[in-house]
Every structure is written in structure tokens, then in C-alpha cells.
């Protein structure tokens, strides 16, 4: 608030805080709070810059990488740690258990500002326990057709709006190009495709990211 800023300016004159500390207080006063609606339709309020993040779920580190915010990651779940080729830097960070059942004490020990995770997991009970330790949970889904909107919201939360917009524009440019070449194909012209999922002989359901990619590329899935 303005009163807090005035108080900080007086503290600077008294030599109690540094000029850098005053600059940070001024920035918080001018740029915060920041709000957005998360994956489960809640209004989330960010009251100060997010500096330390624990990530849960294999898609979340990629979102932070796109925003040039990977340096904020201080902990990962075990599935991310296993993806050493995809996330070489994140995979060597401290682990906090499974993405859907994390170790709450391990998270608290890392002193994050935020836990970034999916809309449906982990449970509300986990979130409540983290909130009790002043750790905020951000629930966003970075897959399927909602990924661009989620990235835009995360960019707003992290003061990375320009990075989010640059990536979204880049993706939309090439998606529009591909669609312009495939959207008029007749059913007989579309190659029939079996899209395999995480397990052998399993496929992705309608609306999943791979299903949408197949349709965009002009393919026709033989199983749903």
C-alpha cells in the first residue's frame, strides 16, 4: 500500500533499509496484487513476486522453461526427476514425492512461495496443509487446447507476460498454417492413425493433447 511505501521511504532516510530494498517495496506496491482464475475456477491473488517454486506434474517445468523462469524451481516430483533428458537441470533438484501425493514436509523444507500443479491434483487436504505454512498452490493445466490460456495466466503471475505472448503467437502462427492445409481434407483423404498413449495398446481419449494434434495434422484416429 501507499502507506507502507511512505514508511519504507522514511526507513531508507533513517538508514534502516537499503535503496535496493526500497526499490523492491516500490515495485510490489506498483505491480501487485495480481489476480487470475485458475484451472478449477478460483480467483487466485498473488501479493508479491514469486521467487521459489516447487513443481508437480511433467508439464509444469516446460511451462516455466517457456517463460524463462526455470531458475525459480527449487523442487520437483519424482516423475520429473526421472525425465533426465527432457529436464536435465530440474531433474537434479530435491524431490518431494509423487506428483499426486507429494511429501508435504519435504515441500515445506524447501521454503517455496508457490507449488505449481494441475487442476485436479494433489488433494485439497494437501493444499490446506501447505497454506497453513504460507505456501500458495497454483493449479493450472498445461496440456490440451487450454495450455495457451494457462501459460498466459502463469506469465501474468510471474511478471512474464511478454514471454508468454511471444510463445503463444509463435504456436498460433504455425497451427494456423497447418490447419489451412488440413482442415478441408475429406474423410477419405485423412490417413487412419492409432495414437498410442503412455502404455502399450492404450490410446488417448477425445480432447487430449495427442488427439488434438492428430486432428490438426489431418489424421483420423481409429480408436478413442
Q: Using one digit for the tens of pLDDT, what is the confidence trace for 22-34?
A: 788 888 888 999 9
Name which residue leads in pLDDT, 7 or 180. Answer: 180
Q: Judge whether 86 and 177 are in contact, CB under 8 Å.
A: no
CA distances from 136 to 8, 43, 126 (A): 26, 13, 11
Q: Is the dihedral of CA 182, 186, 191, 196 positive or negative?
A: positive
Q: Judge whether 98 and 77 are in contact, CB under 8 Å.
A: yes
Instruction: Indicate the pLDDT class of residue 124, thresholds 50, 70 and 90.
Output: very high
Q: Judge whether 50 and 159 are in contact, CB under 8 Å.
A: no
Percentage of the chain modeled with pLDDT above 90: 70
Cβ burial 124-140 (10 Å sphere, 16+ → b, else e)? eebbeebeeeebbbbbb
How far is 53 from 114, CA to CA, in rounded Å? 5
Q: Collapsing DSSP states into helix, strand and coil, what is residue 167? A: helix
Q: Which three cell numbers stand for residue 59?
A: 508439464
How far is 71 from 108, CA to CA, in rounded Å? 19
Cα angle value 201/204/205 (rounded, 5°): 125
How far is 185 from 219, CA to CA, in rounded Å? 9
Once rounded to an integer, what is the mean pLDDT over residues 89-100?
A: 96
Q: Which residues lie below 8 Å from residue 102, measured CB to CB, with a gap of 6+?
A: 54, 56, 77, 96, 115, 122, 126
Q: What is the pLDDT of residues 130-139, one digit of tens each?
A: 999 999 999 9
Q: What is the pLDDT of residues 69-79, one digit of tens each?
A: 999 999 999 99
Mark residue 15 as left, alpha or beta (left: phi above 0; alpha: psi -120 to 50; beta: remaining): left
Structural element, H or E, at residue 37: strand 34-37
Instruction: Indicate the pLDDT class of residue 158, thresholds 50, 70 and 90.
Output: very high
How far is 61 from 91, CA to CA, in rounded Å? 10
Mean pLDDT score of the chain: 90
What integer pLDDT is reported at residue 213 of this predicted model? 86
Amino acid at each position: 500500500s501507499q502507506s507502507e511505501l511512505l514508511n519504507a521511504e522514511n526507513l531508507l532516510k533513517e538508514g534502516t533499509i537499503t535503496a535496493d530494498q526500497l526499490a523492491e517495496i516500490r515495485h510490489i506496491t506498483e505491480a501487485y496484487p495480481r489476480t487470475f482464475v485458475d484451472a478449477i475456477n478460483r480467483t487466485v491473488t498473488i501479493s508479491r513476486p514469486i521467487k521459489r517454486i516447487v513443481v508437480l506434474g511433467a508439464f509444469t517445468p516446460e511451462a516455466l522453461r517457456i517463460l524463462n523462469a526455470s531458475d525459480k524451481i527449487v523442487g520437483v516430483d519424482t516423475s520429473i526427476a526421472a525425465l533426465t533428458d527432457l529436464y536435465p537441470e530440474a531433474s537434479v533438484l530435491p524431490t518431494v514425492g509423487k506428483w499426486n501425493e507429494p511429501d508435504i514436509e519435504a515441500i515445506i523444507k524447501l521454503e517455496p512461495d508457490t507449488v505449481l500443479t494441475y487442476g485436479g491434483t494433489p488433494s485439497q487436504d494437501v493444499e490446506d496443509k501447505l497454506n497453513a505454512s504460507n505456501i500458495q498452490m497454483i493449479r493450472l493445466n498445461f496440456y490440451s487446447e487450454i495450455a495457451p490460456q494457462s501459460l498466459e495466466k502463469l506469465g501474468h503471475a510471474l511478471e512474464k507476460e511478454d514471454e508468454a505472448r511471444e510463445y503463444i503467437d509463435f504456436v498460433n502462427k504455425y497451427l494456423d498454417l497447418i490447419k489451412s492445409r488440413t482442415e478441408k481434407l475429406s474423410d477419405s483423404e485423412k490417413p487412419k492413425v492409432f495414437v498410442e498413449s503412455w502404455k502399450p495398446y492404450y490410446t488417448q481419449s477425445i480432447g487430449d493433447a495427442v488427439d488434438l494434434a492428430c486432428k490438426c495434422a489431418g489424421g483420423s484416429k481409429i480408436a478413442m
